Amino acid sequence: MAELSITVLGCSGTYSSSSSSCSSYLVRSSTTVVLVDAGPGSSIELQRHVSLHDVDGIIISHEHADHWSEMPSLYHAYRWGVERHHVPAWGTAGTKRLIDFVNPEATEFVFDWTTIDESSAVTVGDIGFTFSRTDHPVETLAMRAECDGAAIVYSSDTGPGWSPESFGQPANIVVHEASLTADLEDQGIPHVTGAQAAVNAAAVDADLLVLTHVPPGEDPEERRTHALRADFSGRIDIAAPGRTFSV
């Protein structure tokens, strides 16, 4: 099995905290680097791990600002800094509209943009991505990255009406949002608790669940404690900027 890893660049839910930018991850094999989501401020941590030249592609899960709004900064960097154009990028139609609203030619000139939906399949280097629409107010694509039999699922944002079972295949690692404290379960909020994240990780036989997207000022350990009550036999860890989880 080839090495496939996910590095947390930012994991703060909804807005940045004093210690983390919003959602952003690097999915890497031994030969390929993919930026998954680009929450505000995330290019700081990104450049601690790779050069902007080394990013082989960018995939944005949905149009909420906490997942894409570093793209205007990356546009500046690629247009006038490192002067690299036609960086491959994929995302939902709504995300494209917003990126182009800020910089009208961004998805033509600087990014080589392809609009995707849940039926899409994307290959970047030796990593293949498939998608599944989650339970969230705008079109939101969870994704499953696979390289030589190793697989990582990233939930993006979702309410309880979605499960990674929809990919129809197991995953070694599930990086799952756990925005809600236990007392907010079943309140109709389009996010989930640690326990729901663990149920979802169990549904795809994951060895490792990484809890993420916890809002600023809230305790990720509360999510882990709640997750431990669910029937999931794998390991449960917590996302933090700079941490890498490997298959």
Which residues form the interface with Zn ion (CB under 5 A)? 64, 66, 157
Reference 155, options 77, 236, 81, 62; nearest CA is: 62
Q: Looking at the chain, how many residues does it have?
A: 247
Three-class DSSP category at 44: helix
Choice between 56 and 66, CB closer to Zn ion: 66
The CB-of-67 to Zn ion minimum distance in angstroms stands at 5
Q: Measured between alpha carbons, how far is 6 from 22 in angstroms, rounded to an integer?
A: 15
The CB-of-115 to Zn ion minimum distance in angstroms stands at 18
The CB-of-211 to Zn ion minimum distance in angstroms stands at 14
Three-class DSSP category at 182: helix
Three-class DSSP category at 156: coil
Q: Measured between alpha carbons, how far is 22 from 140 in angstroms, rounded to an integer?
A: 16
Q: Measured between alpha carbons, how far is 74 from 65 in angstroms, rounded to an integer?
A: 14
User: Do 58 and 33 form a contact (C-beta atoms < 8 A)?
Assistant: no
Choice between 40 and 57, CB closer to Zn ion: 40
Q: Measured between alpha carbons, how far is 153 from 170 in angstroms, rounded to an integer?
A: 9
Choice between 29 and 41, CB closer to Zn ion: 41
Choice between 45 and 66, CB closer to Zn ion: 66
Residue with tokens 């791990």: 49
User: Do 161 and 189 form a contact (C-beta atoms < 8 A)?
Assistant: no
Helices (H) and strands (E) in the chain, counts: 6, 14
Choice between 56 and 91, CB closer to Zn ion: 91
Choice between 89 and 142, CB closer to Zn ion: 142
Q: Which two tokens stand for residue 190?
A: 């389009």
Choice between 147 and 211, CB closer to Zn ion: 211
The CB-of-212 to Zn ion minimum distance in angstroms stands at 10
User: Do 177 and 189 form a contact (C-beta atoms < 8 A)?
Assistant: no
